[in-house]
Structure 1
Amino acid sequence: MMADSSKEMVFCSEETQHPRQRRSEIKKLKSALTPELESYPRNTKTSPAEEEEEGEHGKGTPENETRGLVYGHVSMMGRRRVMEDAVTVAPQGSLADEYSFFAVYDGHGGATVAEVCSERLHKCLEKYIENAKKLPEEDDFDWKTVMEDCFGRIDEEFEESKGKEVGASSAAVAKRMMGTTAVVVLVGSGDVVVANCGNSRAVLCRGGAPVPLSSDHKPERPDEKERVEAAGGSIINQKGWRVQGVLPTSRSIGDHHLKPYISSQPEVTVTKRTESDDFLIIATDGLWDTVSNELACHVVEKSLRGGLGSRQSEGRCASDAAATLVELAIAKGSRDNITVIVVLLQ
């Protein structure tokens, strides 16, 4: 699901898509992107069953711009049978006209939590920023506190709403088992603010080299493992390390059946922008499970090469770069939903 007032190039999936049409659409995407991937590892053998599960795409206008930033994004169902990712690009003029907002949400157990976050989290931040502008100039604006409050407030709303439904139905129980990771990126004139909760990721390409702006919350990460175990939980290897043998991320919004082991508290970084900053890649783990930071930056850099100049060509290049990353992840074996945003900073 996408919350966005502009018309971007978006590749998305619908659960009702007929398998034959999905096969046709993915073949069109592969055909369009093959030249971009000639120098990268590629699995050219795709079974009909895999083709059925890869997804569909649709196109919007090539020029995507918010507050002077050009961007493109792609969401693809991939080899999953349902789409649980969501993406938000706040419309121009949002967040008190101070920051452009980009976010990806990777839902699990269902798409509900990711969809609600994509519709509401940026609005919560907007209120905080508006209130901050009323404070005396000597009062510092604490991004860590603001992000933690916003993430926590959204998480509490799910807990409260589900608490009212306890014992009502199996659907209410199912909702308690839904959650989403979230990586939120605010791009201002002088800095980039990132709040990450889960295993999605934001990477800055600076002078041709990747600079991670977030750190994945994986259960096997030493500090996360210690936190979970201190709360009484356990990290179990069940086809990968998982909290209580269930969830492959140690932080998320929702997942109230796994509280207090799962935390909704984001980690926040503030990075000063420089003239060497090239672009941002913001993506769910469907990309990062198979593509490294270095390779992702190299692929985007190659996709952008020679295509920059006019706003229209830049918007097309950003969209094509995001689509190329999605196709590369699928070619390298990703079996998850994949959502990618590429934001140009030059």
Structure 2
Amino acid sequence: MPGRVCASILQRVLTAPVSSQGPQLSLFNYPTQHGQHCHLLSSRINGTAQTWTTSRTSHLSFVGKRSFSTRQDLDFQLSQVQINSILRSNEQSVSVPEFDGRGLCSVRKFESNQLAANSPNEDRRSAVTCLQSKGMLFGVFDGHGGWTCAQAICERLLYYIAVAMMPKHSLEEMDRCVAQGRAVPPILQWYKHHSDYNYRDSAALYIEHLRVFWQELLENEEYSKGMSPPDALDLAFRRLDADISLEAQLPLTNSLLKSTAIQVAFAGSTACVAHVGPDVIHVANAGDCRAVLGVQEEDGSWSALPLSSDHNSQNPSEVQRIRAQHPSSERDTVLADDRLLGMLMPLRAFGDVRFKWSVELQQSVMSSLDSSVDVASLNLYNYVPPSYKSPPYLDVTPEITGHKLRPQDRFLILGSDGLWDELSNHEAVQLVGEHLSGIHLQAPVSQTERKLKLGKLFEVLQKRRARASPALDTNAAPTSSATLWAGTTTASCVRRGWPPCSRSQRTLHVCTGTISLLLSST
């Protein structure tokens, strides 16, 4: 049976860029962006704008711009197979291998999904195992003003965090390898979707600044065993943002590198990163992404425990913090229309140097660009608000939250504001929790069945299980802009028909609307 998808939803789905393979369902897959990155900087893609329209029959044709060939409020007819192909095109599910004690944490598996709200998609996701220290790192990054800053953050931030947690002897060995031209021991085990992209042209610059970072750590006499996760998260956020600002000011001779550095610095991105260790989750948040823990109570019901706060004008403490950093004469202008200087919604973010640099520095950097840099293609915001008097107005200092895992803690959701604009904390937890509990396999127990003796009731339940059909969507990650969830299996799962397990066998299931993962503690 065809499924009805309203035009407003379909329009969001159909914003995914189209490849040149022809009018197939695979066209909705988020493409590999190697060509896109280079062409974005030059404002062209093979000299042709490859876009398309759609009719009621979902016929695709390449045209000069995206549009609907039918009126905006028309319902489109797509089959269930087509709908699920679109919604699952960015789905990912990974079983995390064990690393002989090198990467001990609570993760066994992760799942993720992503549905772009615009094209190109500005959200990013990352998932890694820390090979030189215990734990795993998961991040959701919500870009604005373009995707370039979120892309750089998703590639680099987890390296900065992992390096800060490494013991001194490991950093010394790594530095010797670089100095002698030997292979460097791996720091992270990455889990990537096939469409994930890296700034390959900027890799050498990124590695150079990462090395400067670890060399400064080695010069610190108090640094020996590596930083704790909270300290490493805090330092990594602030240091990477400082490096992004510095790179935009460097006199780079390569015009592509210079264009990329400028674009990354003037764009912006919020970030929410979770470090999951054997017994503790630490969450670092800067911006309006959110982390929510799903807790299963003794009666089987679900409750939501926030592990982060939104950094926007709806948060009174954030409003007070911003106003306290500037003269009282700017009280009414520093936040206008619920936005920073009337322009930016998140009050903490990477990049966004137009809210951090002085006007003189911005003008100096832009005027220093030579003719080989196509400034027009950078899509920069050159407008300076009249109330821009006491920068910086924005920083990326993260809010750190720690939570010791308990038997009732079942999963963690990391999501961008695209998820939380549609679902409350409780609704998101309820959806993931019921998926984990197998609610889709359970029909209500009839009044007659409730009166049966335990043995007969067990036979009825066995028959029901044999008749059950699995859910069409086996990925528990919510289909949203960018989300991440995690959960644990404990003895309380018996209520849902799961086998009990001891504290030492507890598993934590993590997944993101961009990434979803399953964690297992030792």
- TM-score over 0.5 for the alignment? yes
Counterpart of 1:158 (choices 219, 224, 244) is 244
- State the distance in 2 between where 1:188 and 1:216 align: 24
Structure 2 matches for 1:145-184, cutoff 5 A? 145-164=231-250, 174-184=263-273
Q: Which residue of 2 aligns with 1:264?
A: 396
For residues 407 and 472 of structure 2, the distance between their equivalents in structure 1, rounded to whole angstroms, comes to: 20
SS in 2 for 1:320: coil
Cα shift at 1:70: 1.6
Provide the residue aligned with 2:476 in structure 1: 321
Choose 1 or 2 for highest CA Rg: 2
Q: Which residue of 1 aligns with 2:377?
A: none
Pairs aligned (count): 291
Relative CO higher for 1 or 2, CA cutoff 8 Å, sep ≥ 6? 1
Which residue in 2 is equivalent to 1:332?
Answer: none
1:286 is matched with which residue? 418
Is 1:83 matched with 2:121?
yes
Which residues of structure 2 form unaligned runs of 5+? Answer: 1-12, 30-53, 55-72, 77-81, 99-106, 171-220, 297-301, 357-391, 441-470, 483-511
Cα offset, 1:22, TM superposition = 7.2
CA contact (8 A) 2:109 2:518 kept: yes
2:275 corresponds in structure 1 to: 186
1:75 aligns to what SS in structure 2? coil
- Greater Cα shift, 64-73 or 100-109: 64-73
Partner residue in 1 for 2:351 = 254
**What does 1:48-63 correspond to in 2, within 5 Å?**
57-58=88-89, 62-63=93-94
String of CA shifts for 1:205-261, please: whole Å, max 9, x gaps: 122211111111113422211222233361111xxx111111110000111111221
1: CA distance between counterparts of 2:335 and 2:349? 16
Identity value in percent: 27
**What is the letter of the counterpart of residue 340 of structure 2?**
V
Q: What is the aligned partner in structure 1 of residue 157 from structure 2?
A: 121
Within a 5 Å distance, the mapping from 1:11-160 to structure 2 comes to 15-16=17-18, 25=28, 57-58=88-89, 62-65=93-96, 68-78=107-117, 80-90=118-128, 92=129, 94-131=130-167, 141-160=227-246
TM-score, with length taken from structure 1: 0.71
**Structure 2 SS opposite 1:105:** strand
Deviations along 1:111-149, whole A, 9 cap, x unmatched? 111111111111111111113788999989544432221
Deviation by residue 1:30-82 (Cα, 9 ceiling, x = unmatched): xxxxxxxxxxxxxxx8756xx9xxx765267744336542221112213x232
Over aligned residue pairs, what C-alpha RMSD do you find?
Answer: 4.1
Contact 1:286/1:339 (8 A) holds in 2: no
Q: Quick one: which amino acid aligns to residue 158 of structure 2?
A: H
Following TM superposition, by how much is the alpha carbon of 1:275 offset from its aligned partner in structure 2, in angstroms?
1.2
One-letter identity of the residue aligned with 1:178: A
Query: Deviations for 1:142-195, whole angstroms, at most 9, x for unmatched residues?
Result: 4443222101111011111112369x9998765443011000001111100110
The one-letter code sitting in structure 2 at the alignment partner of 1:181 is: T
Q: 1:13 to 1:141 in 2, by over 3 A?
A: farther
Q: CA deviation at 1:107?
A: 0.8
SS in 2 for 1:262: coil
Q: Tell me, in whole angstroms, the C-alpha distance in 2 between the residues paired with 1:279 and 1:129.
A: 25
SS in structure 2 at match of 1:322 = coil
CA–CA distance in structure 1, aligned partners of residues 122 and 90 of structure 2: 20
TM-score by length of 2: 0.48
Q: Residues 325, 133 of structure 1: CA spacing in aligned structure 2 closer, same or farther, 3 A cutoff?
A: farther
Offset at residue 306 of structure 1 (A): 2.8
Task: Check 1:139–1:218 CA distance in 2 against 1; reply closer, same or farther (3 A cut).
Answer: same
